[in-house]
Amino acid sequence: MGIFWDLLQQEELDKQQAQADSVEDRVAILETELENTRVLLRKTLVALEKHLSQDIDGDGIAGE
């Protein structure tokens, strides 16, 4: 019975490790997507400020 218990425990450990790896991969992808979104948002804000000639983000400068 001991060998079966060891196999079951090892299978569970392997499954948990795969889930952890998957979570780490997903977090890395989400961090990259977040950075891309921030860059796009900044570019959009600059273009909008230039178009409207207004300071939208409150930094005291319109379009930069």
DSSP 5-45: HHHHHHHHHHHHHHHHHHHHHHHHHHHHHHHHHHHHHHHHH
**pTM, to two decimals:** 0.63
Helices and strands counted in the chain (H then E): 1, 0
The predicted pLDDT at position 1 comes to 62
Q: What is the mean pLDDT of the chain?
A: 87
The predicted pLDDT at position 38 comes to 95
Q: Contact at 8 Å (CB) between 41 and 57?
A: no
Instruction: Kindly indicate the confidence band of residue 41, based on its pLDDT and cuts at 50, 70 and 90.
Output: very high
The predicted pLDDT at position 35 comes to 95
Taking only the tens place, the pLDDT of each residue in 7-30 is 888 888 888 888 888 888 889 989
